[in-house]
Amino acid sequence: VSLTLVAEHLLAADEPGPFELVNPEGRSSIVLVCDHASNRVPRSLGTLGLDEEQLQSHIAWDPGSAELARKLSAKLDATLLLSNYSRLIIDCNRSPGEADSIPAQSAGIEIPGNQDLTEQDANQRRQQLFDPYQQAISNLLDSRNSGSTKLLSIHSFTPVLNQQQRPWAMGVCYDHSKNWARKMLRELRKRTEEMIGDNQPYSVEDDIDYTIPVQGEKRGLSSVMLEMRQDKLRDDVAVQRWCNLIAECCG
Ligand SMILES: [Zn+2]
């Protein structure tokens, strides 16, 4: 019998909490969430056995998504919740217990710190990172007590996947909220020559995604996920330009 020592607290007292709440009094009907905002790893988990380049890469987070979400929050006067830790610790947009919730490998890279985790390890990550983030979204949505609230989730995607160049600058991704998504698509396509994906590069699916189906759609809220290609968010000026465009089109 091998015993694994699990620290009681994943996060030290001087580390950020599991999530960040921005503009809690925002007056927009839109609530923004950013599941993959950060590549931070709790010190108690070291580097997960990865090098700095791997921890900076898209396997750890959605680069640029937090900047875009923050600018949108300011532009729309919308409340925003961001996860403060890497998706490699536990993915805040996957159901806990699923294989990709705590990935043993991602994009062909083995994650040494995620091999052979005990149930206790996995529960600790869930209870100290995933649950508080999702609970904050629940609390926020429940406190608004309004059927007019819409949930907009901000992600980014890598320009190349499996040697395939992805042509969309941005994707409007949805499942049940077709009216809102299609309106957004129409408005975006009126205003830009860039290719805007309709459920590309991803769609939203009940058995893959978590935040949109569970937090938004189960509450009956219009819920859409925006995916921005990462090279479109390369600097502040570019991020602001996309922010302004999205703000014009997401009403
Ligand atoms: Zn993402």
Separation of CA 182 and ligand 1 centre (Å): 21
pTM value? 0.96
Q: Determine the pLDDT at residue 147.
A: 74
Q: Determine the pLDDT at residue 58.
A: 95
Taking 70 as the pLDDT cut, the residues of the chain under it are 1-7
CB 60 within 8 A of CB 86: yes
Separation of CA 2 and ligand 1 centre (Å): 35
Q: Determine the pLDDT at residue 8.
A: 83
Q: Tens digits of per-residue pLDDT, 146-175?
A: 779 999 999 999 999 888 999 999 999 999
Separation of CA 154 and ligand 1 centre (Å): 7
Separation of CA 36 and ligand 1 centre (Å): 5
Separation of CA 226 and ligand 1 centre (Å): 9
Q: Determine the pLDDT at residue 207.
A: 87
Separation of CA 124 and ligand 1 centre (Å): 22
* C-alpha span between 50 and 46 (Å, rounded): 9
Helix (H, G, I), strand (E, B) or coil at 116: coil
Separation of CA 230 and ligand 1 centre (Å): 11
Q: Determine the pLDDT at residue 5.
A: 56
The secondary structure element, H or E, covering residue 242 is helix 236-249
Q: How far is CA 54 from CA 109, 156, 236, in A?
A: 9, 17, 23
